[in-house]
Structure 1
Amino acid sequence: MINILYLHAGSEMYGADKVLLELVTGLDKKKFHPIVILPSEGVLAVALRHSKIEVYIVSYPILRRKYFNLRGIVSYTYGYFKATKQIFHIIKNQQINLIHVNTIAVLEGILLKHKLKVPLIWHIHEIITTPKVVYKVTSFLLGKYADQVIAVSGAVKEHLVSSGKINQEKIKIIYNGVDNNVFNPNVTTGYLFDEFNIPHDSLRVGMIGRVNAWKGQTDFLQATAPLLEKYPKLYLILVGGVFAGEEQRMIKLRQIAAQLPNNNRIIISDFRNDTANLHNFFDVFVLPSTRPDPLPTVVLEAMASGKPVIGYRHGGICEMVIEGYNGLLVSPNKSELLQNAVEQVVTSKELRKVMGNNSLQRQDNYFSLSAYISNFSQLYSLLTKIKS
């Protein structure tokens, strides 16, 4: 039995949270025993416990902008050593064979690696562009302390290598996968028409993502809202919550939407648990991340639901969407080009059908859950054999 300690940055149910849940629940429990440490309670912790996964809550600091000042550094350092001691106390009587850190924002794995004397896998879901010093420092830490760096896409690997701090031989790409038993074109959607008060003959363009500085909700509205005047059956749907302490972002987004013409056909919702139903409810999925998005899981979910995908041409989406085949990509931060792409797909039922079918096929071929779990299972076995 290989005992694996997982460290993660939150307890929500967005991309990195979902792929962690899918991984630890999908592992062969006769071979692997996952132990998950989270910094807070939340829907992820509930889901893990429901699946009989061993979970502990330790309030350890996550690398966020609030720590990028003198007071923050002191607070982070104190919390880091205190929390690491707590984690070590929890698992000291268990024979940990491997540490899997599921985000670049969690540094506690470094100290635990030395205390436990086990290999460290660092699973990178992020592309850090600013501040540049954080990009350089975290890349240095990855290169120095990780036994294996896992990048979720070629875009992430290229970004890490370009730092000059990591040998590319240490980096392996493992694409995320989604569960086609959960995300598929047969998921029920009827109740959403009633809940959102949307006609059944409507055209629905949707976006799902955390409301933050770069996911692109404002670009989404700039691109799609003008189409509401031209297409009376068109509805726009944005779904996603905010980090604690950033509630003002949601307030501002709602204010922007309220000032737009035809805002009665713009629906903004907080985080929801029925993501699979929402994807199937949309006719077109749009994700205009204004910074390179490493490998957005919501795009894979949309593809598994048989939907065309439209986004900006940077980051991991370029490895998921083939232009003209299962979606359209345009130059980043050009909302007028995004508008043209959305209009092209919205106005052609045949194009939506062809692209949607192609999305489903491409996801099944290259981004399956079984391949994702198998790749990590093989890696775990290899690293523990090397150590022994």
Structure 2
Amino acid sequence: MKAASPDTVLVVHPGAELYGSDRVLLGSVTGLIREGWRVVVVLPAPGPLVAALTAERAEVEFAPQFVLRKRLLRPRGWGELLTTAAKGVIGAWGALRRHSPSVVLVNTITIPVWPLVARLRRVPTVVHVHEGESQARPWLKRVLYAPLLAAQRIIVNSRFSLAVMADSFACLAARSQVILNAVPGPETVTPPRPELVPGPRLAYIGRLSPRKGVDLIVSALRLLRDAGRPATLDLYGAVFPGYEWYEAELLSLIHSSDLTDAVTLHGFVDDVWPGLSAADIVVVPSRLDEPFGNTAVEGILAARPVVVSETSGLREATHGYATAFGVPAGSADALATAVARIADSWDAILPGLEPARAEAIHRHDPAAYGRAVAQVVAETAGPIGAAHTSTRDAVSFRA
């Protein structure tokens, strides 16, 4: 094995889009570079994330990745599992040999070969956990979290995610640190409309998937309009490959509900702020537990009230904000009722939007987040990382 390359962090990520964990990765890389690290990011394929990374002076390369999908754990997926796992091990081994980094940062638990291969090559490893699979079967959770046993340090995005992980392997909590996600706000904020005339404009930003409950917003919109409230809905996001059937079902629901003129599908958007500026209320209707709620925080940063499902991560992300309203998960009726109450209380809600925005800026400051991640990486790197250890405050807390 070659000697470690001083000041190099090899960062690994399973995709190249610009959704939640992708943007958090960008914040991690930015923080590392600002603390003086050379950063090489390994991705499986090109995508919009690449330009954002290179703009921050990160080096980007592509290598085969083994991304653990639940379908691969079924008997019919075992062949693909073995094939892609072998390719992933070869890709990881080659990247580690080429760069001989002083530390590896693995972003998400879905690329499990990296902590194992790094351990074999004696490279210190940090894993950043964005997942909180609380509803998975116990054996599956243990499979998902077992590779973390090979990591020296673990960053977790919420207390909820930490609790789910520790439920599988209690020993992982001792090497873990919760660091709240960085969520950059808009450069300028468009003030909310003083009156919701003719009706509220709803917005959803994120993946179009059954887990995210996008169809629930459509059903809630139908209920609002049936009640005489001329609300509209803008959807910003696209389906994950393989879920095209859900988009077809969503379009069918919109058509059958006579909402074609009230719902606009914009597809994936790189810049979320114009859409949030055009909205009155942001809705995050996830059916299942979310490890955190970046889009809910983005709504607060845009000075808009948000309606969120009362799942653990979303509840944690919006705790303490007077302009965030929780509803039972999976209920279109509850979503419609919450939107109607916000519209009826609009004058009382408006004064609280700016204080909530100021608090969100403080909690999710990108600079503080970047320093916190860089601190963990530097500590994991040992003597080599001493020169990159920041003494400034960071928005983080020990597990």
Q: Which whole-Å deviations, capped at 9, do the CAs of 1:69-115 have from their partners, x for residues lacking one?
A: 33422322232232332333244242301111111111121233124
Residue 143 of structure 2 aligns with an amino acid whose one-letter code is V
Using the alignment, how far apart are the partners of 1:40 and 1:277 within structure 2? 28
Q: What is the match of residue 11 of structure 1? A: 16
Q: What is the match of residue 43 of structure 1? A: 48
Q: What is the match of residue 3 of structure 2? A: none
Residue 135 of structure 1 aligns with an amino acid whose one-letter code is K
Using the alignment, how far apart are the partners of 2:299 and 2:122 within structure 1? 41
Is 1:99 aligned to 2:104, yes or no? yes
Is 1:251 aligned to 2:256, yes or no? no
Using the alignment, how far apart are the partners of 1:314 and 1:121 within structure 2? 27
Match of 1:367 among 364, 374, 380: 364
Structure 2: gaps spanning 5 or more residues = 1-5, 386-399
Deviation at 1:254, TM superposition (A): 0.9
Structure 1: gaps spanning 5 or more residues = 190-198
Using the alignment, how far apart are the partners of 1:166 and 1:73 within structure 2? 29
Using the alignment, how far apart are the partners of 1:153 and 1:313 within structure 2? 15
Match of 2:176 among 171, 174, 191: 171
Output the TM-score relative to the length of structure 2: 0.87
Deviation at 1:338, TM superposition (A): 2.2
* More displaced 10-residue stretch of structure 1: 165-174 or 22-31: 22-31
Is 1:155 aligned to 2:152, yes or no? no
Q: What is the match of residue 141 of structure 2? A: 135
Q: What is the match of residue 378 of structure 2? A: 381
Q: What is the match of residue 65 of structure 1? A: 70
Match of 2:58 among 53, 74, 77: 53
Q: What is the match of residue 238 of structure 2? A: 241
How many equivalent residue pairs?
Answer: 376
Counterparts in 2 of 1:183 and 1:155: CA distance versus 1, 3 Å = farther
Q: What is the match of residue 212 of structure 2? A: 215
Using the alignment, how far apart are the partners of 2:207 and 2:303 within structure 1? 22
Using the alignment, how far apart are the partners of 2:367 and 2:52 within structure 1? 20
8 A Cα contact 1:40 1:57, kept in partner: yes
Residue 244 of structure 1 aligns with an amino acid whose one-letter code is P
Using the alignment, how far apart are the partners of 1:50 and 1:386 within structure 2? 29
Alignment of structure 1 residues 197-216 onto 2, 5 Å: 203-216=200-213
The higher-RCO structure (CA 8 Å, 6+ apart) is 2
Counterparts in 2 of 1:34 and 1:387: CA distance versus 1, 3 Å = closer
Deviation at 1:290, TM superposition (A): 0.7
* More displaced 10-residue stretch of structure 1: 331-340 or 306-315: 331-340
Using the alignment, how far apart are the partners of 1:334 and 1:36 within structure 2? 40
8 A Cα contact 2:116 2:147, kept in partner: no
Is 1:343 aligned to 2:347, yes or no? no
Q: What is the match of residue 122 of structure 1? A: 127
Counterparts in 2 of 1:130 and 1:183: CA distance versus 1, 3 Å = farther
Counterparts in 2 of 1:26 and 1:256: CA distance versus 1, 3 Å = same
Q: Which whole-Å deviations, capped at 9, do the CAs of 1:358-381 have from their partners, x for residues lacking one?
A: 330221121111121111111111
Output the TM-score relative to the length of structure 1: 0.89
Q: What is the match of residue 189 of structure 2? A: 185
Q: 2:235 aligns to what SS in structure 1?
A: strand
